[in-house]
């Protein structure tokens, strides 16, 4: 006879799994490109100030969203939003959320194609690499949702270990003079840097859709705070080390500074010759997790709107759309603009609307108690 209590546990996640889920969603492609973006907006090593401020803001937003997620964990986002506001408004908000996560997945797929072309498969067309990656994502999403989240617990420790390994062995080429002078950026430069950092720190909105899988939903706010804090700390350390190794001026000219950092490190005994290949191969794991979760939530939100459609049907119709979206950008400039569009959509649909719903719910509760 099957142990039903064990079966129920296997269908749920705890605080650690939710923390790993949020962290994995946030440290995908952003870690690879963020140092270059921030270096172009601030002076010397002052970018760490922007990263820290943006991190504190996103931790606050994450906590608010997690509180809202706890409130709605027994209902779908669409159902709860429809009860607070009209169903048409809830439909538009949920559809926008679905489009956001669809574009998020497409961005990750294209990023894999671009970076693989540059560092791993020089003679393989980027389109083929991206298509193969998307097929693997589809295979994962077609299975259990819990199975996708369990992969975070498997891959994230490897990703963090390899990142710390890169930072640790960068000491021999780190020059502290590259960090000087400090605190020379004005408030406008820091503010613009904060905005760009916020764009790189999106992803914790997944708590809205995975809280229903938690065995203790009340732990979601704590898991979200931890899940956001880990990438923020990683961003700060990576930025400081990349500035120390390359200098702020050179950093603005490097497309993927974190990968270039892995190329520059010197491992004692020359045990690894092309460490950047190992680094990127490991990093593909977290990009894979991010793409899977983005696609999974796309299917989940579409199923809220079209509940008669099967999961397989939704995957069949959305997979070509994701691939076409990922191939839309012709060059790096258009790809960067695509990322900006995704960020604004995420801030509006993934953060702005849920926070607005939270305020409406609190206002209605207070009004009800007052009467």
Q: Please tell me the predicted confidence (pLDDT) of residue 72.
A: 81
For residue 76, being part of any structural domain is answered with yes
Number of independent structural domains in the chain: 1
**3-class SS at 28?**
coil
Q: What is the mean pLDDT of residues 44-51?
A: 90
Q: The domain spanning residue 133 has which CATH number?
A: 1.20.1740.10
Q: Identify whether the C-beta of residue 241 lies closer than 8 Å to the C-beta of residue 167.
A: yes
Q: What is the mean pLDDT of residues 69-92?
A: 85
Structure tokens at 77: 């986002």
For residue 203, being part of any structural domain is answered with yes
Give residue-wise pLDDT tens across range 285-324: 888 999 999 999 999 999 999 988 899 999 999 999 999 9
Q: How confident is the model at residue 99 (pLDDT cuts 50, 70, 90)?
A: very high
Residue numbers of the domain that contains 137 = 13-349
For residue 366, being part of any structural domain is answered with no
- Rg, C-alpha atoms of the chain: 21
For residue 231, being part of any structural domain is answered with yes
For residue 256, being part of any structural domain is answered with yes
Q: Identify whether the C-beta of residue 35 lies closer than 8 Å to the C-beta of residue 257.
A: yes
Q: Is the pLDDT of residue 5 over 60?
A: no
For residue 52, being part of any structural domain is answered with yes
For residue 361, being part of any structural domain is answered with no
Q: d(Cα 70, Cα 79) in Å, to the nearest integer?
A: 15
Q: Please tell me the predicted confidence (pLDDT) of residue 1.
A: 38
Residue 308's CB is within 10 A of a number of other CB atoms, namely 6
For residue 357, being part of any structural domain is answered with no
Q: Is the pLDDT of residue 343 over 60?
A: yes
3-state secondary structure 295-347: HHHHHHHHHHHCCCCCHHHHHHHHHHHHHHHHCCCCCHHHHHHHHHHHHHHHH
């Amino acid at each position: 006879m099957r142990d039903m209590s064990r079966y129920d546990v296997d269908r749920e996640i705890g605080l650690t799994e939710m923390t790993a889920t949020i962290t994995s969603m946030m440290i995908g492609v952003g870690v690879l490109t963020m140092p270059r973006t921030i270096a172009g907006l601030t002076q010397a090593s002052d970018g760490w100030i922007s990263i820290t401020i943006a991190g504190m803001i996103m931790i606050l937003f994450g906590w608010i969203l997690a509180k809202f997620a706890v409130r709605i964990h027994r209902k779908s986002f669409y159902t709860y939003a429809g009860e607070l506001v009209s169903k048409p408004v809830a439909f538009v908000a949920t559809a926008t959320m679905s489009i956001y996560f669809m574009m998020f997945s497409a961005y990750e797929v294209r990023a894999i194609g671009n970076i693989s072309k540059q560092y791993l498969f020089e003679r393989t067309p980027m389109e083929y690499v991206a298509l193969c990656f998307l097929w693997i994502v589809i295979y994962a999403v077609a299975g259990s949702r819990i199975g996708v989240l369990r992969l975070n617990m498997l891959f994230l420790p490897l990703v963090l270990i390899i990142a710390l390994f890169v930072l640790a062995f960068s000491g021999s080429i780190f020059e502290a003079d590259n960090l000087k002078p400090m605190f020379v950026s004005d408030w406008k430069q820091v503010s613009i840097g904060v905005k760009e950092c916020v764009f790189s720190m999106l992803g914790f909105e997944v708590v809205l859709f995975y809280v229903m899988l938690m065995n203790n939903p009340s732990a979601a706010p704590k898991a979200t705070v931890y899940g956001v804090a880990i990438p923020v700390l990683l961003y700060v350390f990576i930025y400081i080390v990349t500035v120390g190794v390359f200098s702020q001026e050179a950093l603005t000219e490097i497309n993927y500074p974190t990968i270039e950092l892995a190329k520059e490190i010197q491992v004692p005994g020359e045990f690894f010759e092309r460490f950047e290949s190992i680094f990127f191969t490991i990093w593909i794991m977290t990009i894979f997790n991010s793409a899977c979760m983005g696609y999974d939530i796309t299917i989940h939100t579409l199923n809220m709107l079209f509940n008669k459609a099967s999961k397989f049907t939704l995957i069949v119709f959305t997979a070509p759309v994701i691939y076409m979206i990922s191939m839309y950008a012709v060059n790096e400039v258009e790809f960067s603009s695509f990322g900006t569009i995704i960020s604004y959509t995420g801030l509006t649909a993934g953060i702005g609307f849920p926070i607005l719903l939270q305020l409406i719910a609190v206002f209605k509760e207070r009004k009800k108690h007052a009467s």
